[in-house]
Structure 1
């Protein structure tokens, strides 16, 4: 009798320890250790099987995740979440019809779950069925708000349809509703910044959106050039220069993208001349010797991204009362280096003054001063 009792107690303790271990690993999000429970699958409870499946899902092993979700369901785990996450895994495997069936089951069990309804829209969007996706995103916005994501996606779909006025209004609504912790909160701010810059051309509002995105993610340097361009567009040149200084520090600390580190410059302004885009790039490295470049200005061909003309601001040998930097051009056809009779005596080169000089050349109101076939490329 004692042996039987000891066996029962030992088995109970083993089950309790195992259960505690699975739950603790799940709560600690220690997914690598949690999937080690695969070998104990026959002994796991339905909820534990779900936890192991979720661990496989987080480690991007969707086939194993689905297998464990199925085991959990077979053992009687009937929670909406198991069908939802099974639907997620099937979606990542591009088995969209099967995924939708699982999401529908999840919604039958939890009909007011905003996340489930939002993901139903996602599954249609993945298939390029934007109109159907929009229906479910809108339905998701009408459910108790728990994640806020569908408010972003409704705006996103209208943005894709080029209904820009409506999209912009909906992006503003989204940032009022979504928590700042949401990944899509910053994405919505980015879209606001983009539309205010390109569509409404309200550069101050564009700058506000980009500045808010940077305040949330100060190490996301993708937004810094956009904020610089917005400030310059609004005529707030001092603010643009201060943001450029922050970006320059990041460049010195090797924190920028590989491409930005390689080229050592960033776009600081966009404008138009006779329907053609003018883009100004500013270099991070201070010019130290003759022919070093501090700015480049590209004139793009109409209706495309092909560069038609390239202007530079180059350091020169400074004579008494002479300029320290000169406006130059590299002829793209002949490779001729052209110097114009326009310069700056100090390192402070006002952006509006630089653009004015380039436009004088483009309008044929400033003739070249000298030309040669030599020059420094940068």
Structure 2
């Protein structure tokens, strides 16, 4: 009978702790879970994982791995335990071990989050070949199209746009992203810049018109609504970059801007010069409708460069801005 009472007590105690750990884990009270470490001898495999995760959240990766290992020894082998053990190993700079664990997690559950962290390890190690291979695999095999998947689209599209200058591949990735997430506005911006970089101005304008509908419906992020323009192009001048933004509202009055152009300093930290393509007065039909102006400390100056109407291409605008920067026009 005595043994029965002891067994019953231990069983009930185990249930109480189990319910307590589960409740604290659900409430994300990780410090309180860690306070139960002395009772962990009675924990189930899942509770040991939760204790390890609590240590992980408190930035104690050694302890996290200790309890992940104990959970695995008790038969708790769900994919996320390998993933989080891999994360702790990554933070401890044990990259080979981390990759093995994350690969194990991916083999059982190819989630975008798992792929994202694997990409991050390759980026840390500057292994560009493996990084590219991994994000391409993720785009084709990831099971859930979630926020992590969006991040991978951004990484992949930017890689081909910036690093490879492969605008066709970048375009393909962003178009697939828009098809999957039709209201992910950042993909439209990136696609427009990619198309313009490839001199596909007409198609870029079509996508600008699509995102303008979101602007008209006040659906864009607060910053885009506030500034009323969108980054549509960038190009290099000497050791600096020039960013081109296009306004959503069509210019109606004199001095209304169609584009604003920023010359970024060599460190890439601040705007060095700012130009606007502004509506001007047309005395005769042959006169330009738009001129290039520059904001300066003491006001505003206009260059003797005009565009007949708003149908000019970004190629023409780039050329004229470069002429100004090269001091060919005063």
Which bin holds the TM-score, normalised by the shorter protein? 0.7 to 0.9
Aligned partners of 2:225 and 2:108: how far apart in 1? Answer: 42
Q: 1:105 to 1:268 in 2, by over 3 A?
A: same
Q: 1:316 to 1:217 in 2, by over 3 A?
A: same
Instruction: Indicate if the aligned counterparts of 1:50 and 1:69 stay in contact, CA closer than 8 A.
Output: no
Aligned residue in 2 for 1:328: 293
Residue 229 (structure 1) shift: 0.9
Structure 2, unpaired ranges of 5+: 1-10
Aligned residue in 2 for 1:116: 81
Aligned partners of 2:132 and 2:34: how far apart in 1? Answer: 39
Return the TM-score normalized by structure 2.
0.84
Aligned residue in 1 for 2:103: 141
4+ aligned runs moved over 6 Å, structure 1:
67-71
Say whether 1:220 aligns with 2:188: no
Aligned residue in 2 for 1:158: 122
Say whether 1:61 aligns with 2:26: no
Residue 115 (structure 1) shift: 2.0
Aligned residue in 2 for 1:81: 46
Q: Of 57, 64, 67, which residue of structure 2 is paired with 1:92?
A: 57
Residue 91 (structure 1) shift: 1.7
Aligned partners of 2:51 and 2:291: how far apart in 1? Answer: 64
Q: 1:46 to 1:284 in 2, by over 3 A?
A: farther
Q: 1:271 to 1:117 in 2, by over 3 A?
A: same
Q: 1:110 to 1:343 in 2, by over 3 A?
A: farther
Say whether 1:278 aligns with 2:242: yes
Q: 1:175 to 1:316 in 2, by over 3 A?
A: same
Instruction: Indicate if the aligned counterparts of 2:49 and 2:81 stay in contact, CA closer than 8 A.
Output: yes
Instruction: Indicate if the aligned counterparts of 2:86 and 2:101 stay in contact, CA closer than 8 A.
Output: no
**Number of corresponding residues:** 318
Aligned 1:1-378 pairs, distance under 5 A: 50=18, 53-64=21-32, 78=44, 80-110=45-75, 113-125=78-90, 127=91, 129-130=92-93, 132-142=94-104, 144-148=107-111, 149-321=113-285, 322-331=287-296, 334-367=297-330
Structure with max Cα Rg? 1
Q: 1:142 to 1:235 in 2, by over 3 A?
A: same
Q: 1:215 to 1:50 in 2, by over 3 A?
A: farther
Instruction: Indicate if the aligned counterparts of 2:242 and 2:263 stay in contact, CA closer than 8 A.
Output: yes
Aligned partners of 2:104 and 2:203: how far apart in 1? Answer: 41
Q: 1:171 to 1:47 in 2, by over 3 A?
A: farther
Aligned partners of 1:183 and 1:103: how far apart in 2? Answer: 26
| RMSD over equivalenced CA pairs, Å | 2.9
Moved more, 348-357 or 46-55: 46-55
Secondary structure of the 2:165 match is coil
Higher relative contact order (CA 8 A, sep 6+): 2
Q: 1:318 to 1:55 in 2, by over 3 A?
A: farther
Return the TM-score normalized by structure 1.
0.74
Structure 1, unpaired ranges of 5+: 1-42, 368-378
Aligned partners of 1:177 and 1:99: how far apart in 2? Answer: 29
Aligned residue in 2 for 1:15: none
Aligned partners of 1:84 and 1:44: how far apart in 2? Answer: 21
